[in-house]
Amino acid sequence: MHQIEFQARGNSAVGIEFYAWDFAYNQIEQVFKPRIIRDTVGQQTELFAIGTHYIAVKVIDNDGLENVEVMKLVVNGDVCCEAQKYRCF
């Protein structure tokens, strides 16, 4: 499993109310089913297995207007951290 950090930033003249996250977005059906519903910061960390994943984040402003962004994430093999140069996980 690989830990990935996501950050979302939205702009609105009336301010951002919250973000919602769907870490298992179904690209074929295109149905948004968030697991994280009221994220007021716009930052989440999730674990992913090797493979292709679709992540959707919805931003809702203080007037109730919303927008959804879908990302494709491909996780391949081992990841090495700079701090742990010789230890991969």
- Residue 6 has what pLDDT? 95
Residues of the chain above pLDDT 70, percent: 87
- The residues near 42 (Cβ < 8 Å, ≥ 6 apart) are 7, 8, 9, 10, 16, 19, 59
Q: Is the pTM of this model over 0.85?
A: no
**pLDDT band at 77; cut points 50, 70, 90:** confident
| CATH 2.60.40 correct for 2-75 | yes
Closest residue by Cα to residue 69 from 30, 15, 43: 30
Judge whether residue 78 has pLDDT over 90.
no
